[in-house]
């Protein structure tokens, strides 16, 4: 009897005995929720990314929400993010009562550009909505043009929130210097996600990085209900037990057990990145240089960027005269054929403006490049424990299906 083929998801966590030991150690310790391990994880993340301040929270979505709050998004204001992203990038703006405008993407990289963000900001301005935040997304692991977007932020009076959920470990170059994703050298905030398919995991979790000490202190309060024990912030002090809620914050804390896992994972980030890049090189050799190059194209990486490769995205090439619905149908058939072979490819992402919540979002134009990307894209399996034989199986299935 033929054994069923091992499923190959598009992404998955990589857990080893050291991770298990770290979690067990935390479980046997004095703190399960917010204890000293949270601070150690924050320090390690800040050091890794090159930003002086880090606030760990319960999810990347929580990080987007709190960053948007501190950036000044309120009712009757708004912000701009990419149309090709998970909906949370836009939802963080809505949670603050603001308006989320959607920007088109570059045709080669699927990243927002300074120009597409400026156009979407213009759509907000035309609607009489002040722009308070720009939320560019480091899609698939490549960093956006942060220096250009930082200049745009100064021009329109908005703070820049780098959505770096895909780019932990990535770098970009500017004027002869190399910068790290999340360093906040060209942004006001950067957010990370530690969902199991990301580069490292805390099961669920996220973080906010910044260089602004005042914003950091505000984020610390907002993460924990808006409560302070700082005598300088309180209206009175009844004793050592006393605290006051000084702002409407949230229960967005992360615990010691999760951060113990995160610290263990972070220690192996370089190895994870090395393995991801080796897998990408194997894919690129087959898809970029073999017969598949006639029918597929890998997502481009901008010049000067070293991608962290959260995702390996390929796109079907259009046939002569092929319309968007036709290529989308071919993509659907390819997706089904891969799944029938146990290869669980995914589509990243359904454009934000397709979601009913966001259908009326301000935008500039028809978001044509986002629509084109959505119609043609597939994310192939990519995670550190994916073996050479697994990659070869994906490539052989693509060849058998497409050629």
Question: Would the pLDDT of 376 be above 80?
Answer: yes
Terminal C-alpha separation, the chain: 29
CB atoms near residue 173 (< 10 Å): 15
Last residue of a domain, one of 216, 242, 266: 266
Whole-number Å distance between alpha carbons of 191 and 209: 6
pLDDT digits (tens, 9 = 90+) for 185-200: 999 999 999 999 999 9
Judge if 110 and 254 occupy the same domain: yes
Judge if 139 and 238 occupy the same domain: yes
* Domain contains 11: no
* Percent of the chain with pLDDT strictly greater than 70: 99
* Region 397-401 average pLDDT: 97
* pLDDT-based confidence at residue 289 (cuts at 50, 70, 90): confident
Judge if 177 and 238 occupy the same domain: yes
Whole-number Å distance between alpha carbons of 287 and 298: 7
The conformational region for residue 361 under phi > 0 = left, psi -120 to 50 = alpha, else beta, is: beta
Last residue of a domain, one of 242, 266, 290: 266
* pLDDT-based confidence at residue 71 (cuts at 50, 70, 90): very high
* Domain contains 2: no
Whole-number Å distance between alpha carbons of 329 and 347: 13
Domain around 252: 17-266
Whole-number Å distance between alpha carbons of 79 and 144: 17
* Domain contains 8: no
The per-residue pLDDT for 3 is 67
CATH of the domain at 396: 3.90.1150.10
- DSSP secondary structure string, 83-111? SSS-THHHHHHHHTT-EEEEE---TTT--
* Domain contains 10: no
The per-residue pLDDT for 290 is 87
CA 338 and chain centroid, separation:
25
* Domain contains 104: yes
Judge if 286 and 211 occupy the same domain: no
* Domain contains 83: yes
* Domain contains 1: no
Judge if 123 and 235 occupy the same domain: yes
* pLDDT-based confidence at residue 288 (cuts at 50, 70, 90): confident
pLDDT digits (tens, 9 = 90+) for 171-225: 999 999 999 999 999 999 999 999 999 999 999 999 999 999 999 999 999 999 9
Judge if 137 and 49 occupy the same domain: yes
Judge if 146 and 286 occupy the same domain: no
**Helix-then-strand count for the chain, H and E:** 12, 17
* pLDDT-based confidence at residue 143 (cuts at 50, 70, 90): very high
Q: How many structural domains are present in the chain?
A: 2
Judge if 251 and 362 occupy the same domain: no
* Domain contains 3: no
CB atoms near residue 320 (< 10 Å): 4
**Per-residue exposure over 134-162, b if at least 16 CB sit within 10 Å of its own CB, e if not:** bbbbbbbbbbbbbbbbbebbeebebbbbb
Question: Would the pLDDT of 1 be above 70?
Answer: no
The per-residue pLDDT for 2 is 57
Judge if 228 and 373 occupy the same domain: no
Phi/psi of residue 22, nearest 5 degrees? -65, -40
Judge if 249 and 346 occupy the same domain: no
Last residue of a domain, one of 238, 266, 294: 266
Contact at 8 Å (CB) between 29 and 22? no
Judge if 299 and 154 occupy the same domain: no
Residues for the chain: how many in total?
A: 403
Whole-number Å distance between alpha carbons of 120 and 100: 10
pLDDT digits (tens, 9 = 90+) for 86-117: 999 999 999 999 999 999 999 999 999 999 99
215 vs 105, 131, 182, CA distance in Å? 30, 19, 16
Map 303-368 to HEC letters: CCEECCCCCEEEEECCCCCCCHHHHHHHHHHHHHHHHHCCEECECCCCCHHHCHHHCCCCECCCCH
CATH of the domain at 33: 3.40.640.10
* Percent of the chain with pLDDT strictly greater than 90: 97
The model scores a pTM over 0.95: yes
**Per-residue exposure over 104-128, b if at least 16 CB sit within 10 Å of its own CB, e if not:** bbbeebbbbbbebbbbbbbbbeeee
**CA-wise closest residue to 145 among 116, 169, 125, 123:** 116
pLDDT digits (tens, 9 = 90+) for 299-337: 999 999 999 999 999 999 999 999 999 999 999 999 999
* pLDDT-based confidence at residue 394 (cuts at 50, 70, 90): very high
Judge if 103 and 228 occupy the same domain: yes
């Amino acid at each position: 009897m033929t054994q069923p083929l091992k499923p190959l998801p598009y992404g998955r966590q990589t857990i080893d005995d050291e991770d298990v030991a770290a979690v067990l150690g935390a479980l046997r310790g004095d703190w399960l929720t917010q204890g000293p391990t949270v601070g150690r994880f924050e320090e390690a993340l800040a050091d890794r990314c090159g930003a002086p301040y880090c606030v760990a929270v319960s999810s990347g979505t929580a990080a987007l929400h709190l960053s948007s709050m501190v950036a000044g998004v309120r009712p009757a204001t708004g912000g701009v993010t990419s149309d090709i992203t998970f909906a949370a990038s836009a939802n963080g703006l809505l949670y603050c009562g603001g308006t989320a405008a959607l920007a088109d993407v570059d045709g080669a990289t699927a990243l927002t550009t300074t120009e597409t963000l400026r156009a979407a900001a213009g759509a907000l301005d035309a609607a009489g909505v002040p722009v308070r935040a720009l939320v560019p997304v480091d899609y698939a692991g490549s960093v956006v043009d942060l220096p250009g977007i930082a200049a745009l932020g100064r021009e329109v009076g908005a703070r820049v929130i780098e959505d770096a959920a895909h780019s932990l470990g990535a770098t970009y170059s500017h004027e002869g210097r190399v910068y790290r994703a999340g360093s906040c050298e060209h942004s006001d905030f950067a957010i990370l996600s530690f969902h199991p398919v990301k580069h490292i995991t805390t099961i669920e979790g996220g973080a906010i990085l910044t260089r602004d000490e005042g914003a950091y202190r505000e984020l610390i309060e907002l993460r924990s209900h808006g409560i302070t024990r700082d005598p300088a912030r309180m209206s009175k002090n009844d004793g050592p037990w006393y605290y006051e809620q000084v702002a409407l914050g949230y229960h967005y804390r992360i615990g010691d057990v999760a951060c113990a896992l995160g610290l263990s994972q972070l220690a192996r980030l370089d190895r994870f990145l090395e393995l991801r890049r080796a897998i990408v090189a194997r894919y690129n050799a087959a898809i970029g240089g073999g017969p598949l190059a006639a029918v597929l194209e890998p997502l481009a990486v901008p010049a000067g960027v070293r991608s962290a490769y959260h995702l390996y995205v390929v796109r079907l090439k259009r046939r002569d005269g092929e319309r968007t619905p036709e290529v989308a149908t071919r993509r659907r058939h390819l997706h089904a054929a891969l799944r029938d072979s146990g290869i669980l490819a995914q589509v990243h992402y359904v454009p934000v403006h397709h979601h009913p919540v966001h259908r009326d979002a301000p935008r500039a134009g028809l978001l044509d490049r986002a629509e084109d990307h959505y119609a043609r894209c597939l994310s192939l399996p990519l995670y550190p424990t994916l073996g050479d034989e697994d990659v070869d199986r994906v490539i052989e299935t693509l060849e058998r299906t497409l050629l």
